[in-house]
Amino acid sequence: MLRREVRLPVVRIPEAEPLPILIEGDDRLRQPARPVESPSMETGRDIGRCFATLAAFRRQHGFGRALAAPQVGIPLRLIAIDLGAGPFAVINPQIRWRSEETFELWDDCFSVPDKIVRVRRNRSISLECRDEQFRTRRWDRLPPDLSELLQHEIDHLDGILMTDRAVSADAVRSANERARLIDAVRPVRRLSLARIREAAQRIDPVFLNSPQVVSESISKELGCTLTLKVEINNPVRSFKGRGADFFVGRLEGAKPLVCASAGNFGLALAYVCRKRGIPITVYAARSANRLQVERIRALGAQVGMDGEDFDAAKEIARAMSAASRAQMVEDGAIPEISEGAGTIGVELLARGDVFDAVLVPLGNGALINGIARWIKAASPTTRVIGVSSRGAPAMAESFRSGPGGRIVSHASVDSIADGIAVRVPIPEAVDDMHGVVDDVLLVDDGSLLEGIKLAHRHANLRIEPSAAAGLAALLESPDMFSEQSVATVLTGSSVTDEQAREWFGEAAAH
């Protein structure tokens, strides 16, 4: 049984007018702020004023990630942050852990507008805080760029300015050097929040606003509050339509396309290309799901079946592209495909739901990178965790080698979940994961099968093994998510008649 969850806000954040920003020399900047004791209408108004001031500054200057309430004369331990996906509040932050490793950087500040200052910060911190609805949030092991940002803003709550942190007498420069010393070294991500927002408006509505439901019975069995994002009720029966539609919709002209696919991506591209009159050739491994191949052909695509597995089929597709004028479309390598998938992250958070963790099936990385890019900007305390098959660990091993680390490939894979059975990772996709994906878990085929049966038994949903990766992780690691609010994406429903009889005791509908 599935039910839709409704959460009522504790604090309303009203529209407000921006306030003047206090400038160095104002004594109010030197007074330690007092804690917010409880949610109230006045707290909501204060948050609204901080949000409005931050937004006005960003509109005027084109930058600005955070503002502490004391900077506008509100003496509360309250920080407004906007990382590009909309503002959120950090209330009563307390640093619970600091890394021993530190680093130096050039810092800037709204309240010291004519200077930039060389400061030293801990490379990572963990903190506990309240959000604007006064719910307790934990933010563990922040990446360096967010770690330094939160340390700067917490200093404001303690009456400390960045000039107090100057590492040396010559560590203060003119703000005219900001672009060279600050903007040029801040991380630039390949995936765009603005394009994810654009995708949420441009993608064919048949792929958007998929069911987002809490299963009470699965939650009870797994010991957590579990939200299912169900991506199988659309014309291609998977999440892949989002990225395919956004990518193809932004192409100029009707140049032929070629891709490799285990099934779902090829089906999605065939669907959106037929709609736009663009020729498409899909290469699949000889072992590919025959039902999916039939569906791809039925949509007018040319299909070539060759190669022992998906990665071998991809090499054949790449050679065909090089020998013709067809454009190679590599799922996971093209930003727009991930950004289209990122609209799932937009929808997950759009109702105000709060998640401790979001579990995402991890294949080539297109899905998790889009979702994580949005979530880490809109709800950074939410952990985004990829789930791969233990029989296909290449993405997990490559990710664990760290930023700029080694790409780990394998000679073969052994998994029932072909949608996440990646043998040769895409370097760009692995790079995209760093800084937004918190962890990757590996699960057994047995757990994937138990996951699809769990979804069928409790929610009457028929999903493919790859789609059950998040459920498998909950089955294998219940203590990791005990009593937490968790979401997972049920990514596809490619099930043959034989599989349906074996797994569910029934025939699959074509």
Residue 231, domain CATH: 3.40.50.1100
Asked whether residue 1 is domain-assigned, the answer is: no
373 lies in the same domain as 476: yes
- pLDDT band per the 50, 70, 90 thresholds, residue 291: confident
Label residue 459 by pLDDT band (50, 70, 90): very high
- Whether residue 298 is contained in a domain is answered as yes
Residue 1 has pLDDT above 70, yes or no: no
Q: Are residues 159 and 43 in the same domain?
A: yes
> Which of 319, 335, 351 lies at the terminal end of a domain, its last residue?
335
- Reference 146, options 171, 122, 181; nearest CA is 122
CA distance 186 to 67: 18
User: How far apart are alpha carbons 465 and 449 in whole angstroms?
Assistant: 6
Contact residues for 360 (Cβ-Cβ < 8 A; gap 6+): 367, 368, 371, 372, 384, 385, 386, 387, 469, 470, 488, 489
Helix count and strand count (H, E) for the chain: 17, 19
Structurally, the chain folds into a number of domains equal to: 3
Q: How far apart are CA 152 and CA 81, in angstroms?
A: 12
**Confidence check: pLDDT of 213 > 80:** yes
Residues 483-498 have pLDDT tens digits of 999 999 999 998 877 8
pTM given for the model: 0.93
Domain shared by 177 and 212, yes or no = no
Q: Which of 162, 185, 208 is the last residue of a domain?
A: 185
Phi then psi for residue 10, to 5 deg, are -85, -40
Note if 153 is an active site residue: yes
Residue 474 is assigned to a structural domain of this protein: yes
Domain that holds residue 271: 240-335
Together in a domain, 418 and 306: no
Task: Report yes or no: 385 and 360 within 8 Å, Cβ to Cβ.
Answer: yes
**pLDDT beyond 70 at 38:** yes
Same domain, 203 and 136: no
List the single range of 6-15, 275-284, 294-303, 363-372 with lowest mean pLDDT. Answer: 6-15
Sign of CA pseudo-dihedral 488, 491, 497, 498: negative
Same domain, 271 and 404: no
Q: Is residue 451 part of a domain?
A: yes
Identity at 476, one-letter amino acid code: E
Q: Which of 37, 104, 132, 153 is catalytic?
A: 153
pLDDT at res. 311: 85
CB atoms inside a 10 Å sphere around CB 68: 28
- DSSP assignment of 60-78 equals HHS---EEEGGGGT--BSE
> Is the domain of 168 the same as that of 307?
no
Average pLDDT of the chain to the nearest whole number: 93
Within-domain flag for 2 = no
pLDDT of residue 10: 52
Distance (Å) of CA 199 to CA 64, 184, 305, 341? 24, 28, 32, 9
Closest of 313, 312, 286, 284 to residue 410, by C-alpha? 312
Residue 174's SS3 state is: strand
Residues 28 and 145 in one domain: yes
In this predicted structure, which of 93-107, 281-295, 446-460, 471-485 has the lowest mean pLDDT? Answer: 281-295
Please indicate, yes or no, whether residues 45 and 122 belong to a single structural domain of this protein. Answer: yes
Q: Is 32 inside a domain boundary?
A: yes
206 inside domain: yes
24 and 144, same structural domain? yes
Last residue of a domain, one of 185, 203, 219: 185
Q: What is the torsional sign of CA 45, 381, 3, 213?
A: positive
Let me know if residue 3 belongs to a domain: no
